[in-house]
Structure 1
Amino acid sequence: MKARTFGRHIRESLKSLRRNSWMTFASVSAVTVTLLLVGVFIVIMMNLNQLADSIENDVEIKVVADPAADEAAVKELQKKVSATAGVLEVVYASRDEELDKMIQSFGDELSLYKQSNPLGDALYVKAQDPQQTAAIANKINTYDYTYEVVYGEDKVEKLFKVLNASRNVGLVLILALLFTAMFLISNTIRITIVARRKEIEIMKLVGATNNFVRVPFLLEGIWLGILGAAIPMLLISISYYNLYEYWEPKLKGELFQLLNTTPFILQLNGLILFMGIFIGVWGSFMSVRKFLKV
């Protein structure tokens, strides 16, 4: 297509939006409302996913060495644990440090055990993939000088099942909402094009090609998508920024942290703009296709 022809299509698409102002308003409103709902839901789901990741990453394995093992044996155990496939980090804690933790948790009465510490040295292990915690714990439990491996077996497995189910439900809801948005917006655009079917028929009867007729409508779909995405992008950006500025100091040091405004807002705005343009083009393409058969 020549640049001159394409320029004409752009001008015609803009003129058409002005001529059909009420239908343009209806289409843009439909895009705005649905993308605003989708955007808010994505914000909620992404932050919930952030919480799920934080909970998973907080899961660790405590490996208690045999109290009778000497220093060399514990170092050998630590070396084997560090070399285990899937292990991300191993932190060593001496038996004296473990006793100090128990005294802090349960009271000074336990300080009597400092004269004869019955505890063993401990290794705190984190997995690269938290979902593999159970498999790594079972593997470590077979090593020599391992007295006990603790990772909250039943609770961890239930936790991972709940988190995975939550992610899957969230994904299904987002896809369902996007499908609903595409259906509603494409129907609104179809009404706009149906009102102009005579215009399409006349253009076809005078010899216009399918692409010549189709391109202005596709460009209109792009403009509708951009205009419809502008308000959700602005509202969500301002709202999330204010929400982050208010809650971020209050949540400092807590398990749950909101996603940083940068680059999250930029990524979300890019996604909303892409969805608006895609839905506008798709709705225009599907709607104008049936009127090209004259």
Structure 2
Amino acid sequence: MSSKFDSYQKRRLQSSYFSVVISIALVLFMVGILGLVLLKSTLVANRVKEKVAITLFLKDDVSSKNRNDLKASLQKEAFTKRIIYTSKEKAAKIYSKEIGEDFLMFLGKNPLKNGIDVYLKADFVTPEKMQELEERFQKNAFIADVSYDKPLINLLTKNIKRISFWLLVVSAFFGLVAMILINSSIRLSIYSKRFNIKTMQMVGATKGFIRRPFIWQSIKLGTLGALIALLGLAVIVYYVDKYAPSLELLKDYITLGYLVGGVLISAFLITWISTYFATQRFLNLQTDELYY
């Protein structure tokens, strides 16, 4: 009879552990997906920003040497991602192709100017910093005019800030939900052992001694759940990289490192904190309160 009861208790305990691991894995999987979206959204936003350029139109009397010196100095600037030089002849051909006729035949001369498109690094694509660059370029003796799409920059900056804010809000919300769900699963698991906790306390075991094996057990379960969640995330990353190779997920080791580290650390912290307070609650209860 005793062996049957022990077998029943063992199955019940295994079922409890299984439900805790699955709960942790599912929650961390969802949190990992949100974390991946949040991390990659920054990369996508930066790529969009780095397609923005300031065009510098050069004066007609600028010599080839001065033009090359200007290009070299721009290439060394901290704000420069890349530069593209377009001669006035090439610009005329592009413009003629766009309008469908050779406008030079009517004008008799080329009114366009040699231009340098300066593509900026993402950190410098803001209305304030681009305004500062514009003022700086206008003081250059070789530059006749400076042009960039100010309304586009304002709209781009505003939308990126708005999207980033809501991504953070949604991530924080789901992070809180994750903590509550994992905490509930662990509390239910410890609830089934509340009488064992009280018995150990009554025979003189300290709170730290009683709490320690529960914390380690929960951390093990949390780590197992995190590994299962990471396995699911690996499948998602593989297929996203397969169908959206431009995101370069599998090559972005920094993002993947943050993702793996975030999931493992979250599993450790949440299980440790939840188990600590759950065991503390039952340690502080009186014996007759354990039945409620």
What 5-or-longer segments of structure 2 have no aligned partner?
1-8, 286-292
* Distance change (3 Å), C-alpha of 1:17 and 1:120: farther
Q: Select 1:175's aligned residue among 162, 172, 176.
A: 172
SS in structure 2 at match of 1:261? coil
* Distance change (3 Å), C-alpha of 1:258 and 1:18: farther
Which residue in 2 is equivalent to 1:29? 22
SS in structure 2 at match of 1:147? strand
Which residue in 2 is equivalent to 1:253? none
CA distance in 2, matches of 1:53, 1:23: 45
Which residue in 1 is equivalent to 2:32? 39
Which residue in 2 is equivalent to 1:95? 88
Which residue in 2 is equivalent to 1:105? 98
CA distance in 1, matches of 2:158, 2:131: 13
SS in structure 1 at match of 2:144? strand
CA distance in 2, matches of 1:113, 1:240: 56
Give the alignment's TM-score, normalised by structure 2.
0.80
CA distance in 2, matches of 1:208, 1:113: 99
CA contact (8 A) 1:221 1:280 kept: yes
Which residue in 2 is equivalent to 1:123? 116
- Report Cα offsets for 1:168-223 as digits up to 9, x if no partner: 22122212211110112112211222232221111112111222111111112112
2:237 maps to 1:234: no
Which residue in 1 is equivalent to 2:138? 141
CA distance in 2, matches of 1:216, 1:48: 41
Q: Select 1:214's aligned residue among 211, 225, 247.
A: 211
CA distance in 1, matches of 2:230, 2:80: 41
User: What is the identity, as a one-letter code, of the residue corresponding to 1:63?
Assistant: L
Which residue in 2 is equivalent to 1:193? 190
Which residue in 2 is equivalent to 1:48? 41
CA distance in 2, matches of 1:179, 1:144: 57
Root mean square deviation, CA, Å? 2.8
* Distance change (3 Å), C-alpha of 1:86 and 1:258: closer
CA contact (8 A) 1:61 1:125 kept: yes
Q: Select 1:273's aligned residue among 254, 264, 276.
A: 264
* Distance change (3 Å), C-alpha of 1:87 and 1:19: same
User: What is the identity, as a one-letter code, of the residue corresponding to 1:142?
Assistant: K
SS in structure 1 at match of 2:205? coil
Q: What's the CA shift for 1:225? A: 0.8
SS in structure 1 at match of 2:56? strand
CA contact (8 A) 1:224 1:277 kept: no
- Report Cα offsets for 1:143-163 as digits up to 9, x if no partner: 334332111011111101111
- Report Cα offsets for 1:49-81 as digits up to 9, x if no partner: 322111011111001123455556656765775
Q: Which moved more, 1:104-113 or 1:47-56?
A: 104-113
Which residue in 1 is equivalent to 2:54? 61
SS in structure 2 at match of 1:58? coil
2:232 maps to 1:243: no
CA distance in 1, matches of 2:10, 2:237: 32
Give the alignment's TM-score, normalised by structure 1.
0.79
CA contact (8 A) 2:237 2:249 kept: no
What 5-or-longer segments of structure 1 have no aligned partner?
1-15, 249-256
Aligned positions of 1:281-292 closer than 5 A: 281-292=272-283
CA contact (8 A) 2:50 2:81 kept: no
Q: What's the CA shift for 1:291? A: 2.7
Q: Which moved more, 1:203-212 or 1:64-73?
A: 64-73
Query: How many residues are paired up?
Result: 271
2:250 maps to 1:261: yes
Q: Percent of aligned pairs with the same residue?
A: 23
CA contact (8 A) 1:201 1:291 kept: yes
SS in structure 1 at match of 2:248? coil
